[in-house]
Amino acid sequence: MNVTFRPDEIGIGFHPNGYRIDKTALPINRYTKWQFSPGRRWCNPEPVCFDSLPQSGWIKIDKFDWDDIDMDKELSLI
């Protein structure tokens, strides 16, 4: 069983539906909604408000590797 969290429990993490939380980022990039390109790469981020985030199913990670953003790689961390 994978452990998931609520968005208020996340400092840095993502939701499989394409959302990210990164409280170490600039305010415009703290809460974002992404699309997936072919090959499951994260692309086209858009800022969203905290209240629009999914309320469960979040995965905590230590950091985002912004040079190699790969959904399959991040999902393998859980």
Q: Closest by alpha carbon to 31, among 16, 14, 17?
A: 14
Cα–Cα distance between 33 and 52 in angstroms, integer? 10
pLDDT, tens digit, for every residue of 6-38? 999 999 999 999 999 999 999 999 999 999 888
The domains of the chain are located at: 7-75
Which has more confidence, 67 or 5? 5
Residue 39 CA to residue 62 CA, distance in Å, equals 23
Calculate the average pLDDT of the chain. Answer: 85
Could you identify the residue written with the tokens 């590797």?
65
